[in-house]
Chains A and B, each alone.
Chain A
Amino acid sequence: MSGKKVREGSFHLVGGDFTKAGVASSELKSILSGLGIDMKLVRRAAIATFEAEMNVIIHATAGMMHYAVSDEQIRVVIDDMGPGIPDIDLAMQEGYSTAPDWVREMGWGAGIGLPNMKKNSDEFKVDSVVGEGTTVEIIIKIKEGKAGEPG
């Protein structure tokens, strides 16, 4: 981890459980605000993790969200047991979605989750194995005295 550790923890994510969708990101947002981190960075973290959380709930069987906050960065790793992503470059294109129709009717599946995550991160990484699952890593830098700009 980069910098001096301030706080870390994890959340369980259950695939298909839309009643809990967003709970983990919302709690993480509260934790980050409580640590006194700049609200612009908290907002970016909340958006990126919310999208990642929704991807797990929409596509995967289960997942974990691990967060680690230091004085230099917010790092969130979301890894899931799910179908995996066969073509990551394709998945990163805005509008590309593999979500079924019923998910679209719930307001998701527009195909901008992964691009949204990247847009709100300073460093962003996606790894995936088809048939096993996907891991997404989101890093947002905390700069002394002023808000970091999105990467």
Chain B
Amino acid sequence: MKIKRVLELLNAEMILEAGDPDVEIQAACSSDLMSDLLCFAAKPGSVLITGLINPQVVRTAEIAELKAIIFVLKKRPDKDTIALAKAKGIPLIVTPLSRFTSCGRLYVEGLESCTEEAK
């Protein structure tokens, strides 16, 4: 699905446009722990659903090659984090929904978990 569909499903707002607006989103990671995101190879076209809003989320997303970060419960990162995401080309999305509802809606819509099968 495209990012636009993700925004619709999660009643979400794009607070930073970056990267390719037509990127195909196929999978989602949901975690507040950064080492966990680095533990498993993320499928291409993966987004992150998280409640953590510090700059390391952006750095971890860059290293894990994630396509967008979705912050839940209307949590907004500060301007330094937004500037970092802009520099790295990672779009930022804010949803009023919880991590549970966000995962649920995307799961029902057919997104897969971002972790690769072979570990």
Q: Do A and B come from one complex?
A: yes
Nearest-neighbour CB distance to chain B for A23, whole angstroms, equals 8
A116 adjacent to B38 (CB under 8 Å): yes
B interface residue numbers (CB < 8 A to A): 32-36, 38-39, 52, 54-57, 59-60, 62-65, 80
Q: How far is the CA of A47 from the CA of B57 in the complex (A)?
A: 14
The number of inter-chain residue pairs (CB within 8 angstroms) is 63
Does A22 make an interface contact (CB < 8 A)? yes
Q: How far is the CA of A72 from the CA of B55 in the complex (A)?
A: 34
Does A121 make an interface contact (CB < 8 A)? no
A interface residue numbers (CB < 8 A to B): 18-19, 21-23, 25-26, 29, 43, 46-47, 50-51, 54, 106-108, 110-113, 116, 119
Per DSSP, chain A at the interface is: helix
Nearest-neighbour CB distance to chain B for A53, whole angstroms, equals 10
A51 adjacent to B59 (CB under 8 Å): no
For residue A50, which residues in chain B have a CB less than 8 angstroms away from its CB?
38, 59-60, 63
Q: How far is the CA of A23 from the CA of B32 in the complex (A)?
A: 20
15 A-B pairs besides A19-B80, A47-B38, A107-B33 with CB distance below 8 A are: A18-B55, A22-B59, A23-B59, A25-B59, A47-B64, A50-B63, A51-B38, A107-B32, A107-B34, A107-B52, A107-B54, A108-B56, A110-B33, A110-B35, A112-B36
